[in-house]
């Protein structure tokens, strides 16, 4: 009975409108707590710009990175406050507890403090420059530092910041530039130019390339030689006229009087190589002079060799030249020669071009003869194949004695010369059979034997016995 009454009270309670409203409110609030989102916006403290790719930590766990707008959404139940941490390279770490009911939070990151070292050197002597005044500035904030005995000026700067720099020092040209700080301490170098610095650049007149080891004279005094850049750096007082001379072996000496004004910092001069010349001699593979050889210099036909196989080039200056030698019937010879400080002889050999000569060996009945030994100018070239052939490499325009030997055949001979330009050629050699002297001797001996036997028979036939008939009375 009591259980029935309890059930009745239970159902009557759920029919009560106030109770149902309270229950729905609780369910709604619980749903609202589960759907809480926290929008984080990360900005730079110096210029209030958004910071993308900053790492977000929620309650110590890595939650992700900010987007291109520097924002990140943290979703949580809303039941507890959230410990938010933010880190970014070049910035000081940020951490703060955000109320559980907050829907947005602004995170301001401060840039890290770094050290900038500015090293200053003399561009000519490479020595450090002390006492220079260096000024850096950014967003109307400036710092000034003086370089020490090692030529270095030090600054306290912020990470990920762009600074302009101006450098001033007596007797040197002013330098200006821009320094883009990263996320670590940085060292930058500047090379300072003396106000009395005067550079001389020497180039080859034909190639326009720099010429090293050129002796430079000022008013008759040697002041130095150009480096591998063709440059000589010296100190000259401005507003004066100087007599400049430039000398190098293999080049024509050059000179000029020049006024060096306050605005002059570089003087460029071109010098020409002096003609040296060279001689070229061409021989064949037998060391005989070759006339009529086409001689190309750097790809241009420049002449023919004479009857002594010689040609001269008196106007060549020092340098490297590609020489190509060409003559019909000979292999092209391509080489590089160096023309130095005096005319020299350069000797070359041209070798005959090769052709493939096929040698066919036949008998008197025009049948092929395999396994015949073939000789070329007396040199054994091997045996003919099943088709009675053998191939040999020969030179153009050269006469060859071709011979062949085979048992039972007379040695065959033929002369052959392959004309220039034929890559292949052939020659046919015919061999006659030898007489079989053994057979003939045997046959002759046999015939002689038969004749002798026949003679003997005739002789004995004429000597038959004589019979005597006696009369009866003699018996």
Q: Identify the domain boundary among 237, 271, 305.
A: 271
| Residues 13 and 45 both lie in one domain | no
Residue 296 forms part of a structural domain = yes
Instruction: Give per-residue pLDDT as tens, 289-344.
Output: 999 999 999 999 999 999 999 999 998 988 899 999 999 888 899 999 998 878 88
Instruction: Give per-residue pLDDT as tens, 352-381.
Output: 888 888 999 999 889 999 999 999 999 999
Instruction: Give per-residue pLDDT as tens, 427-461.
Output: 999 998 886 556 666 777 778 878 888 777 777 76
- Whether the predicted pLDDT of 134 surpasses 60: yes
CATH of the domain at 398: 2.60.40.1120
Q: Identify the domain boundary among 168, 192, 216.
A: 192
DSSP string, 132-186: -EEEEEETTEEEEEE--TTSEEEEEEETT-EEEEEEE-TTB--EEEEEE--SS-E
Write down the pLDDT at residue 435.
Answer: 67
Residue 475 forms part of a structural domain = no
Which residue spans within 248-376 are E strands per DSSP? Answer: 254-260, 266-271, 278-284, 294-297, 300-304, 310-313, 319-326, 333-339, 345-350, 354-363, 373-376
| Residues 82 and 135 both lie in one domain | no
Domain membership of residue 252 as a residue range: 197-271
Instruction: Give per-residue pLDDT as tens, 397-413.
Output: 788 999 999 988 989 89
Q: Identify the domain boundary among 271, 300, 322.
A: 271
Write down the pLDDT at residue 4.
Answer: 52
**Alpha carbons 372 and 129: distance in angstroms, whole number:** 92
| Residues 286 and 259 both lie in one domain | no
Write down the pLDDT at residue 16.
Answer: 58
- Whether the predicted pLDDT of 391 surpasses 70: yes
Residue 355's nearest CA partner among 397, 394, 312 is: 394
Instruction: Give per-residue pLDDT as tens, 241-275.
Output: 999 999 998 899 999 999 988 777 788 999 998 89
| Residues 93 and 129 both lie in one domain | no
Q: Which residue has the higher pLDDT, 198 or 67?
A: 67
The average confidence (pLDDT) of the chain is: 86
Mean predicted confidence (pLDDT) in 271-283: 92
| Residues 181 and 117 both lie in one domain | yes
Residue 207 forms part of a structural domain = yes
Write down the pLDDT at residue 23.
Answer: 55
Residue 75's nearest CA partner among 106, 35, 107 is: 35
- Whether the predicted pLDDT of 470 surpasses 80: no
Instruction: Give per-residue pLDDT as tens, 14-73.
Output: 455 565 555 555 555 545 445 689 999 999 988 899 999 999 999 999 999 999 999 999
Q: How far is CA 35 from the centre of its chain?
A: 64
Confidence band of 137 (pLDDT split at 50, 70, 90): very high
pLDDT above 90: percentage of residues in the chain: 58
Residue 310 forms part of a structural domain = yes
Instruction: Give per-residue pLDDT as tens, 151-181.
Output: 999 999 999 899 999 999 988 888 899 999 9
Residue 438 forms part of a structural domain = no
Residue 347's nearest CA partner among 281, 283, 277, 288 is: 281
| Residues 42 and 99 both lie in one domain | yes
- Whether the predicted pLDDT of 118 surpasses 90: yes
Residue 471 forms part of a structural domain = no
| Residues 346 and 358 both lie in one domain | no
The DSSP output letter for 221 is E
Write down the pLDDT at residue 7.
Answer: 47
**Number of domains making up the chain:** 6
Whether 57 and 98 have beta carbons less than 8 Å apart is answered as no
Write down the pLDDT at residue 72.
Answer: 95
Q: What is the dihedral of CA 41, 47, 52, 54, to 10 degrees?
A: -70
Residue 450 forms part of a structural domain = no
Phi then psi for 140, rounded to 5 degrees?
65, 15
**What's the order of all strands across the beta sheet hosting 36-44?**
71-76, 36-44, 104-109
Write down the pLDDT at residue 475.
Answer: 47
Residue 460 forms part of a structural domain = no
- Whether the predicted pLDDT of 1 surpasses 50: no
């Amino acid at each position: 009975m009591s259980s029935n009454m309890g059930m009745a009270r239970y159902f009557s309670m759920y029919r009560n409108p106030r109770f149902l409203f309270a229950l729905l409110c609780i369910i709604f609030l619980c749903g609202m707590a589960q759907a809480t989102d926290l929008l984080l916006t990360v900005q730079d403290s110096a210029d209030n710009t958004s910071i993308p790719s900053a790492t977000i930590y929620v309650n110590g766990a890595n939650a992700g990175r900010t987007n291109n707008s520097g924002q990140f959404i943290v979703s949580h139940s809303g039941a507890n406050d959230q410990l938010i941490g933010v880190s970014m390279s070049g910035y000081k770490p940020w951490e703060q507890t955000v109320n559980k009911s907050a829907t947005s939070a602004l995170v301001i990151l401060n840039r890290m403090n770094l050290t900038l070292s500015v090293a200053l050197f003399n561009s000519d002597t490479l020595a450090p420059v002390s006492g220079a005044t260096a000024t850096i500035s950014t967003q109307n904030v400036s710092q000034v530092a003086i370089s020490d005995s090692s030529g270095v000026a030090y600054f306290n700067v912020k990470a990920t910041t762009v600074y302009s720099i101006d450098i001033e020092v007596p007797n040197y040209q002013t330098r200006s530039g821009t320094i883009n700080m990263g996320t670590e301490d940085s060292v930058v170098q500047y090379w300072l130019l003396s106000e009395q610095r005067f550079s001389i650049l020497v180039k080859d007149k034909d190639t326009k390339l720099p010429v090293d080891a050129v002796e430079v004279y000022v008013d008759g005094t040697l002041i130095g030689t150009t480096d591998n850049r063709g440059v000589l750096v010296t100190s000259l007082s401005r507003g004066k006229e100087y007599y400049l001379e430039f000398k190098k072996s293999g080049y024509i000496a050059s000179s000029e009087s020049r006024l060096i004004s306050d605005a002059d910092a570089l003087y460029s001069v071109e010098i020409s190589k002096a003609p040296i010349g060279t001689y070229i001699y061409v021989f064949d593979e037998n060391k005989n002079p070759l006339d009529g050889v086409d001689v190309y210099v750097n790809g241009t036909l420049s002449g023919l060799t004479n009857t002594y196989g010689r040609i001269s080039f008196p106007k060549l200056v020092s340098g490297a030249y590609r020489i190509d030698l060409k003559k019909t019937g000979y292999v092209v010879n391509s080489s590089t020669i160096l023309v130095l400080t005096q005319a020299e002889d350069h000797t070359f050999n041209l070798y005959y071009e090769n052709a493939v000569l096929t040698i066919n060996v036949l008998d008197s009945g025009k049948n092929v003869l395999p396994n015949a030994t073939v000789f070329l100018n007396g040199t054994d070239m091997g045996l003919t194949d099943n088709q009675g052939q053998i191939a040999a490499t020969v030179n153009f325009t050269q006469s060859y004695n071709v011979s062949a030997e085979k048992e039972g055949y007379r040695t065959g001979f033929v002369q052959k010369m392959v004309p220039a330009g034929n890559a292949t050629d052939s020659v046919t050699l015919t061999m006659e059979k030898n007489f079989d002297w053994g057979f003939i001797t045997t046959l002759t001996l046999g015939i002689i034997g038969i004749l002798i036997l026949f003679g003997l028979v005739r002789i004995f036939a004429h000597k038959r016995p004589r019979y005597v008939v006696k009369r009866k009375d003699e018996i």
